[in-house]
Amino acid sequence: MEEIQLTDEQLRAVTAPPSIVQVVAGPGTGKTRCVTARAIYLLSMSKHSRILVLSHTRKAVSEIAKRVSVAIPSNRVNVSYRRISDLSRVKVMTLHGFCMKTARILGVFNKNARLLKDKEKKEFLKKCLEIHPVFQEIDTIEDTIENCKNLLITPEEAYCLLPEDLAKIYEIYEREKEEENLFDFEDMLVSVYRKLSSNHKLADTLRQQFQHVIVDEAHDMNKAQYEIVRLIQNGSFFTVLDPNQRIYAFRAGGGPLHRFERDYPYSSRLPLTVNFRSTRKIVNSTNKFMGTNIKPREDAPEGKIEILIQTTWEKQAKEIARKIIEITKDYPNETVAVLVRTNLQAATIAPVLEDYGIKSNINVEKHTAAHKPPDTPKRLWEKALSVLKKLSSPPESKGNGKIRVTISTIHKAKGREWDHVVIPDVVDKLPCCKQEREEEEKRIFYVATTRPRKTLIISAAEECYGQDTNPSRYIEYFRS
Ligand SMILES: Nc1ncnc2c1ncn2[C@@H]1O[C@H](COP(=O)(O)OP(=O)(O)OP(=O)(O)O)[C@@H](O)[C@H]1O
């Protein structure tokens, strides 16, 4: 059993009366810690209450579930130990998992309906494009349809919002899918929302099931998810969020953020102001970069930030490998992560590290797939692939084979932390990467730079995947 230590401001959030509470706080300030402590606190308040904790990723869900199962609250929180031992009253689920389960309970799809898996979806969409050709990249069409559904926009409404061709293909996709008795991932959200919003009795039954709803990382909820949670919460609704870590806008995430205050005008908004994760230097630089004012914890060490600039991508990758060997020699039991924007970066850096005896656990996202990104010219793509081959040339020095690092996309790294973090390819325009809007790119970089506990290494090359590049302007904020 592990006691959860809480500061005064964390304690205030955890023990706020069960009503509508929004904890708005920066990275490393203990939001996830508060989610865990709040679940246990609510569990202890009544022997009948049931608590639903929702998060976005399976990793986050298993982490919260693990923490809830081994945690006891700080002795400053008055709880009944007998009550908190009944963990069956806390359900920790992903938002998608919850919607899937609810869809099944509500019987929103008929018995023979089949889920259209991601891989099949593209093939299915191609068939629809034979009925009505649209001269756009298939990925763009797929994203558009997905986003419409996440925003609860019907095909009829899409005609007022999108170019006619895109609205038409959305309409055809929906029609053909229904005819073939198929449904996709987003249908689960849309159908659950429609069923609950049109049948108040059903929504009421669900509301009786959980007396308290807690949502972690609420800044990445899309409209469909937000509306569903709104329909099933019963007046005790605790959310934690950081608007500066909103990195799923490209999938319509974060849209409902501004709705919260309007929908819940009497909610309590509680801040957390101290970062417990990172060194002073990291907290101060990320503050400067994002214009935030988060305090480092009192005993935070000064720490260091290193900037590496190399002439070529290959030299950069080798320098990163050497740095990792150096770090793990000094701190053999500490964790190291290389955080990237794209699957291609993960695929290209892993073999270089391996040549140096560094093994990688790769954690990439299907939405940043390593297939050719839509706006990459064929010539550039071939060059990028040839980089992969060239990297098999013998390196200068080998590691001892015992070093392990995590290579993760930044999207998969949210909510996580490591002792040492390397961010490669911090350039103004990364080739082979479909860049998001400036503000979103900034938030993505912010998420990456706020993951390390001790060392942050920011790296760039003047040539990436065969293309001339400039080190990003972002780097200036991290120089001493
Ligand atoms: N009161 C505290 N005392 C000591 N350590 C703490 C305290 N609160 C949080 N921490 C530690 O600080 C780190 C960050 O906490 P947590 O992951 O809960 O932050 P977060 O706000 O969810 O971060 P992010 O938004 O960046 O994911 C963790 O290692 C956690 O154990």
Q: Quote the pLDDT of residue 369.
A: 41
Ligand 1 centroid, distance to 361 Cα (angstroms): 24
Q: Does residue 30 register a pLDDT over 90?
A: yes
268-272 sheet: strands from edge to edge: 90-94, 51-55, 212-215, 237-241, 20-25, 268-272
**Predicted confidence band of residue 243 (pLDDT cuts 50, 70, 90):** very high
346, 413 contact by CB (below 8 A): no
User: Per the structure block, which two tokens stand in for 255?
Assistant: 């849209």
Q: Quote the pLDDT of residue 78.
A: 60
**Predicted confidence band of residue 364 (pLDDT cuts 50, 70, 90):** confident
Q: Quote the pLDDT of residue 139.
A: 83
Q: Quote the pLDDT of residue 339.
A: 98
Ligand 1 centroid, distance to 387 Cα (angstroms): 39
Range with the poorest average pLDDT among 9-13, 172-176, 253-257, 356-360: 253-257
What CA–CA distance (Å, rounded) separates 89 from 51? 6
Considering only CA atoms, give the Rg of the chain: 24
What CA–CA distance (Å, rounded) separates 226 from 192? 12
Mean pLDDT of 280-307: 97
pTM comes to 0.87
Answer yes or no: is the C-beta of 217 below 6 A from any ligand 1 atom. no
Answer yes or no: is the C-beta of 5 below 6 A from any ligand 1 atom. yes
Closest by alpha carbon to 25, among 261, 262, 275, 238? 275
Range with the poorest average pLDDT among 305-309, 360-364, 420-424: 360-364
Q: Quote the pLDDT of residue 68.
A: 74
- Residue 96 carries which DSSP code? H
Mean pLDDT of 31-51: 87
Q: Could you read off the pLDDT of 135-188 as tens digits, one per residue?
A: 888 888 988 998 899 889 999 999 999 899 899 999 999 999 999 999 998 999
- Kindly tell me the sign of the dihedral angle through the C-alpha atoms of 461, 464, 470, 476: negative
Q: Could you read off the pLDDT of 365-398 as tens digits, one per residue?
A: 654 444 444 455 565 556 556 554 544 343 444 4
304 is in an annotated binding site: no
Q: Quote the pLDDT of residue 52.
A: 94
**Single-letter code of the amino acid located at 358:** I
Q: Quote the pLDDT of residue 69.
A: 72
Q: Quote the pLDDT of residue 272.
A: 97
Atom 5 in ligand 1: residue holding the nearest Cα? 276
Q: Could you read off the pLDDT of 295-308 as tens digits, one per residue?
A: 999 999 999 899 99
- Mean pLDDT, rounded, of the chain: 86
Range with the poorest average pLDDT among 19-28, 317-326, 359-368: 359-368
**Single-letter code of the amino acid located at 127:** K
28 is in an annotated binding site: yes
116, 109 contact by CB (below 8 A): no
What CA–CA distance (Å, rounded) separates 152 from 161? 13
Closest by alpha carbon to 230, among 283, 193, 279? 193
- Whether ipTM tops 0.90, in short, is yes
**Ligand 1 mutation target, pool 64, 77, 277, most atoms within 8 A of CB:** 277
30 is in an annotated binding site: yes
Q: Quote the pLDDT of residue 80.
A: 56
- The ligand 1 atom at the shortest distance from the C-alpha of residue 25 is 21
Answer yes or no: is the C-beta of 121 below 6 A from any ligand 1 atom. no
Q: Quote the pLDDT of residue 85.
A: 62
350, 370 contact by CB (below 8 A): no
Chain centroid to CA 418: 16
399 is in an annotated binding site: no
Distances (CA, A) of 354 to 24, 250, 274, 350, 448: 41, 33, 38, 6, 23
Top-confidence residue, 85 or 21: 21
Q: Does residue 322 register a pLDDT over 50?
A: yes
Closest by alpha carbon to 432, among 478, 400, 386? 386
Mean pLDDT of 61-88: 67
Answer yes or no: is the C-beta of 296 below 6 A from any ligand 1 atom. no
C-beta neighbour count of 397 within 10 angstroms: 11
Q: Could you read off the pLDDT of 192-208 as tens digits, one per residue?
A: 999 999 988 888 988 88
Ligand 1 centroid, distance to 431 Cα (angstroms): 34
Q: Could you read off the pLDDT of 465-479 as tens digits, one per residue?
A: 888 899 999 999 999
Mean pLDDT of 8-21: 92
Q: Which domains does the chain have, with CATH numbers?
A: 8-107+190-272 (3.40.50.300), 116-180 (1.10.10), 280-478 (3.40.50.300)
Q: Quote the pLDDT of residue 394.
A: 39
Ligand 1 centroid, distance to 444 Cα (angstroms): 19
Q: Quote the pLDDT of residue 194.
A: 92
**Single-letter code of the amino acid located at 114:** R
Atom 24 in ligand 1: residue holding the nearest Cα? 27
**Residues 6 or more apart whose Cβ sits within 8 Å of residue 254:** 219, 220, 221, 222, 243, 246, 248
190, 149 contact by CB (below 8 A): yes
407, 361 contact by CB (below 8 A): yes
What CA–CA distance (Å, rounded) separates 21 from 18? 8
Answer yes or no: is the C-beta of 452 below 6 A from any ligand 1 atom. no
**Predicted confidence band of residue 287 (pLDDT cuts 50, 70, 90):** very high
**Predicted confidence band of residue 403 (pLDDT cuts 50, 70, 90):** confident
**Predicted confidence band of residue 345 (pLDDT cuts 50, 70, 90):** confident
